Amino acid sequence: MNQAAGLDPSRARSYINGKMEALEKRERGPRPIAEDKPWHSLTVEEALDATGSSRELGLTGAEAVRRLASDGPNLLPEKAGISAWKLFLGQFNSLVIWVLIAAGIVSGAMGEIVDATAILTIVVLNGIIGFFQEYNAEQSIAALRKMTAPSAKVRRDGRTGNVPASSLVRGDIIEFEAGDLVPADARLLEASGLRCAEAALTGESEPVAKIPDPIPDGALSLGDRLNMVYMGTSVASGAGAAVVMATGLGTEIGKIASLLESASEETATPLQKRMDSLSRTLVWICLGLVASLFLLGLLRGREPFELFLTAVSLAVAAAPEGLPAVVTVALALGVQRMAKRNALIRRLPSVETLGSASVICTDKTGTLTAGSMTVRELYLAGETFLVEGGELGPSGSVSISGRPPDAAQSDRLRRLARVQTGTLTASLYQEGDEWKVAGDPTEGALLAVAGKVGLAAESTSAADKVIAYPFDSERKRASAIRKGPGGSLRIFVNGAPDLLVDLCVRVDTSEGPKPMDGEQRRRILEANAAMAARGLRVIGSAYREFAPEQGRMPGMEEAERGLTFMGLAGMYDPPRPEAAAAVAECHRAGIRVVMITGDHPSTAAAIAKSLGIAVDGDGVLTGSTLDALDDKALSEKVPRTAIYARVTAAHKLRIVRAWKSLGAVVAMTGDGVNDSPALKGAHIGIAMGRSGTEVTKQASDMIITDDNFASIVAAVEEGRGIYQNIRNTLQFLLAGNTGELLLMMVAIVAGLPSPLLPIHLLWINLVTDGLPALCLASERIDPDVMKFPPRAQTEFLSDPGFRNSLLFTGFLTAGVSMLAFLWGLRNYDIGTARSAAFSTLVFAELLRSLGARSESKPIWRLSPLGNPRLFIVVGLSITAQILLHRYPPLETLLKTAPLPLGEVMALLCLASIPLFAMELVKVVRNARPYSDSGEAAV
Which residues are tagged catalytic? 363
Asked if residue 61 lies in contact with residue 157, where contact means CB atoms within 8 angstroms, the answer is yes
- For residue 5, the one-letter residue type is A
Q: Which residues of 416-444 are buried (b: 16+ CB within 10 A; e: fewer)?
A: bbbbbbbbbbbebeeeeeebebebbbbbb
Dist. CA 208–CA 442, nearest whole Å: 11
- Tell how strand 185-197 and strand 228-229 pair up: antiparallel
Residues in contact with 307: Cβ distance below 8 Å, sequence separation at least 6, in sequence order: 294, 297, 298
Residues in contact with 38: Cβ distance below 8 Å, sequence separation at least 6, in sequence order: 218, 220, 225
Judged by DSSP in three states, 702 sits in strand
Asked if residue 761 lies in contact with residue 740, where contact means CB atoms within 8 angstroms, the answer is yes
Asked if residue 547 lies in contact with residue 485, where contact means CB atoms within 8 angstroms, the answer is no
* DSSP summary character for residue 374: E
Dist. CA 516–CA 565, nearest whole Å: 9
Judged by DSSP in three states, 812 sits in helix
Q: Name which of 104, 121, 99 is nearest 279 in CA terms.
A: 99
CA distances from 117 to 292, 328, 732 (A): 28, 20, 24
CA distances from 345 to 326, 354, 697 (A): 18, 11, 11
Asked if residue 245 lies in contact with residue 640, where contact means CB atoms within 8 angstroms, the answer is no
Residues in contact with 513: Cβ distance below 8 Å, sequence separation at least 6, in sequence order: 506, 507, 564
Dist. CA 811–CA 822, nearest whole Å: 16
Dist. CA 256–CA 292, nearest whole Å: 56
The DSSP result for 162-213, as a single string, is EEEGGG--TT-EEEEETTPBP-SEEEEEEEEEEEEE-HHHH--SS-EE---S
**Which helix (H) or strand (E) covers residue 632, if one does?**
helix 631-637
- For residue 491, the one-letter residue type is I
